[in-house]
Amino acid sequence: MATTTAPAGGSRNGAGPEWGGFEENIQGGGSAVIDMENMDDTSGSSFEDMGELHQRLREEEVDADAAAAEEEDGEFLGMKGFKGQLSRQVADQMWQAGKRQASRAFSLYANIDILRPYFDVEPAQVRSRLLESMIPIKMVNFPQKIAGELYGPLMLVFTLVAILLHGMKTSDTIIREGTLMGTAIGTCFGYWLGVSSFIYFLAYLCNAQITMLQMLALLGYGLFGHCIVLFITYNIHLHALFYLFWLLVGGLSTLRMVAVLVSRTVGPTQRLLLCGTLAALHMLFLLYLHFAYHKVVEGILDTLEGPNIPPMQRVPRDIPAAIPAARLPAIVFNATVKAVVVTVQSH
């Protein structure tokens, strides 16, 4: 038995050197040492990658929660927030549009240069045009030139207003509570603007080549004859003199305007309608200013303020000292009747 077991044990003890160290370590103390230097240094990178991934996921979750919260807030506000924003935008647009229109209107009316071409005229030119307004033209085959300025016509209208006030003061018209400047200004400017607009409308219907500005200038310079006639006849009260100046001076200024309109109108029917209307209105206006203007103004004043009634006058009555009682009522009645008759005659 000894001979058979000895080689087996000897064979384990006599094994190769790779098993010798291992057996010695087991037999010696039962401890094992692991060399960490031979381990791979990159073996822990997988843990770091997992931490970064986890952190990113947490951040994405936080962002998603914030976006969801914002969406919930927007949904909570709903149409209220949209309507508020829309109303603010509409209000801002309306304010800007109104501001632009107001600034445009202010710049239009405040800019004096717009009216400068209509009043930029020399006194010598106005004087020559006043003289030309009394001289009828003969050449009506081609359109005659019309002054495109308003300085002369406007000054003539104001002059006519002053002449009417002068005529009211020199006549027997009773002026109460100040002057009648408002009535005179309304009459003169009403005729100038109203008749100019009416004739311009007729000219448009008759296909006449004239503008509103030219019509205002033509009729305004045509008032020069009216100013001359009224200024003379208001100071010299003769009806024969008035009719003479009405035919000569007023007729010349009217013929001048008629000739200009004839040169700018085509067709005999159109010329007759347009020029006849202008001539009739212009000559009748002069008659109205001389004869009926004062009476019309007096009638207007009486209507607005009432008739100018003088105060009741006392009439002295002499009654004898000794009068019989039977005759006293008859005497008092006769005296009362006489007083009433005197009062009525004073009115």
CB 277 within 8 A of CB 313: no
pLDDT category, 32, cuts 50, 70, 90? very low
pLDDT of residue 251: 92
H helix or E strand, kind and range, residue 230: helix 212-235
* pLDDT tens sequence across 244-289: 999 999 999 999 999 999 999 988 899 999 999 999 999 999 999 8
Tokens 């002054």 found at:
147
* pLDDT tens sequence across 51-65: 566 666 777 776 666
Distance of CA 231 to the CA centre of its chain: 39
CB 257 within 8 A of CB 282: yes
**Which stretch, 54-63, 135-144, 238-247, has highest mean pLDDT?**
238-247
pLDDT category, 114, cuts 50, 70, 90? confident
CB 129 within 8 A of CB 151: no
Amino acid at 96: Q
pLDDT of residue 136: 87
Long-range contacts of residues 117-124, Cβ cutoff 8 Å, at least 24 apart: 117/148, 117/149, 118/148, 118/149, 118/150, 118/151, 118/213, 119/149, 119/150, 119/151, 120/149, 121/149, 121/151, 121/152
Cα 193 from Cα 90, distance rounded (Å): 43
pLDDT of residue 221: 94
Count CB neighbours of 342 within 10 A. 11
DSSP 171: S
More confident site: 24 or 276: 276
Span 117-145, mean pLDDT? Answer: 87
Span 315-326, mean pLDDT? Answer: 50
The percent of residues above 90 in pLDDT, for the chain, comes to: 31
* Cut 0.75: pTM above it: no
Domain edges within the chain: 86-119, 139-303
What average pLDDT does the chain have?
74
* pLDDT tens sequence across 172-229: 655 554 456 788 888 999 999 999 999 999 999 998 989 999 999 999 999 999 999 9
* pLDDT tens sequence across 160-175: 999 988 887 776 655 5
